[in-house]
């Protein structure tokens, strides 16, 4: 069944909810039956639609989800409730902003608390409500981004009354280099997290993100938090993704034009055609999240698309709403044809490499001007 999510537009983004569910199952297959597999649906489900992804995974058995912001959590909660999944847990990774306690509680959202002041404020709010409200405690084990220091975690463990009042039902940390399996920081973070886990023996523990799952069962603990793996992204740096692709991107040809040998193409005249060429103008640009770093130039090739069995390289600088591809070798290429920019012939990883970035940024940059089709 195909559901059209927006009016027809010249560029189409296809999202496979079935593939998201299959990818979560593939992650679960790496884990013991006792390990819960959550779904990270922050950044609007990595650009694929966070509420829709959460509902699909809930229907397949997921009961815990992670978002970054309160607003994301409200949207996911509404979608899950409408679909009948009222008991799902939703953790808000970016913590407790002052004054948001009532909003979190009203929508059944659990903040991930990474500082003692946050924990004290959340515990105080719970006392005012005459019951502890759930949360997670984030401990920094080596990323130096978010979370209690090891010393602060030990100080918290020495205050069991505060831990109980906070309602904490998960202690977690985040791996910095899990996509590099041999990086020494992985083992160091694991050892540190084991020591912290021992301070909170009655609370569930979570360390592994997508790549952490693939480091092995000692990293899994009670709950794993796959994100990019759910959406078809690469797991190990520099290696193809073992997951099913989730998104496909096609752009419509607006015009096919002949360009004489020696003429330049696009803003800045960065690329000159080396033969008399037929160029197709596509209705997609950097305003749609197709970054201009994938532009073609005389000094270096850019990205490419696929049309009718042929690679079609991007020529010249990508502009806000348009880009050009070389269709000289594609017989019959015409206005109205659709060029694949992400799909079975042009992987997400290839596009990210052409843009000089990572899968995450490509996915989360995909804009709102696409016709979004969920299949």
DSSP string computed for 161-212: HHHHHHTEEEEE---SSTTSTT-HHHHHHHHHHHHHHHHSTTSEEE---HHH
Active site residue 267: yes
Place of tokens 């903040």: 111
- Calculate helix-pair angle for 17-29, 50-59, nearest 10 degrees: 50
Q: Kindly name the residue from 42, 219, 231, 286 that is annotated as catalytic.
A: 42
Q: How far apart are CA 47 and CA 229, in angstroms?
A: 13
Q: What letters, b where the CB count within 10 A reaches 16 and e where it falls short, cover 228-240? A: bbbbbbbbbeeee
- Contact between 212 and 193 under an 8 Å Cβ cutoff? The reply is no
256: β partners: 280
Q: Kindly name the residue from 30, 194, 219, 267 that is annotated as catalytic.
A: 267
What is the edge-to-edge ordering of all strands in the sheet holding 168-172?
36-37, 223-224, 204-206, 168-172, 135-138, 109-113, 89-92, 64-67, 39-40
> What is the tally of helices (H) and strands (E) in the chain?
12, 20
Active site residue 42: yes
- Calculate helix-pair angle for 70-82, 50-59, nearest 10 degrees: 40
- Contact between 89 and 65 under an 8 Å Cβ cutoff? The reply is yes
Q: Which residues are catalytic?
A: 42, 267
């Amino acid at each position: 069944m195909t559901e059209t999510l927006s009016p027809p537009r010249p560029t189409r983004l296809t999202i496979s909810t079935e593939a998201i569910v299959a990818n979560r199952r593939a992650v679960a297959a790496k884990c013991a039956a006792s390990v819960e597999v959550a779904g990270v649906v922050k950044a609007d489900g990595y650009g694929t639609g966070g509420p829709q992804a959460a509902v699909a995974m809930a229907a397949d058995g997921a009961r815990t989800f992670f978002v970054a912001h309160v607003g994301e959590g409200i949207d996911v909660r509404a979608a899950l409730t409408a679909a009948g999944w009222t008991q799902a847990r939703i953790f808000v990774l970016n913590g407790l902003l002052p004054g948001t306690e009532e909003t979190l509680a009203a929508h059944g959202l659990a903040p991930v608390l990474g500082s003692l002041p946050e924990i004290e404020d959340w515990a105080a709010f719970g006392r005012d409500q005459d019951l502890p409200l759930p949360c997670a405690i984030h401990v920094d084990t080596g990323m130096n981004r978010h979370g209690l220091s090891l010393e602060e975690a030990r100080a918290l463990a020495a205050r069991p009354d505060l831990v109980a009042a906070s309602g904490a039902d998960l202690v977690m940390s985040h791996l910095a280099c899990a996509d590099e399996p041999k990086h020494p920081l992985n083992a160091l973070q694991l050892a540190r997290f084991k020591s912290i886990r021992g301070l909170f023996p009655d609370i569930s523990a979570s360390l592994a993100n997508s790549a952490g799952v693939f480091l092995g069962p000692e990293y899994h603990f009670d709950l794993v938090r796959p994100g990019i793996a759910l959406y078809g992204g690469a797991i190990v740096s520099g290696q193809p993704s073992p997951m099913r692709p989730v998104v496909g991107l096609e752009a419509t040809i607006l015009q096919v034009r002949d360009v004489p040998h020696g003429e330049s193409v696009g803003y800045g005249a960065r690329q000159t055609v080396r033969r008399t060429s037929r160029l197709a103008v596509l209705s997609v640009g950097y305003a749609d999240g197709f970054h201009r770093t994938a532009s073609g130039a005389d000094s270096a090739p850019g990205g490419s698309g696929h049309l009718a069995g042929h690679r079609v390289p991007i020529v010249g600088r990508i502009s806000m709403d348009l880009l050009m591809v070389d269709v000289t070798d594609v017989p019959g290429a015409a206005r109205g044809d659709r060029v694949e920019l992400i799909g079975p012939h042009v992987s997400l990883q290839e596009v990210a490499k052409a843009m000089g970035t990572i899968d995450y940024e490509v996915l989360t940059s995909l804009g709102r001007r696409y016709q979004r089709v969920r299949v």
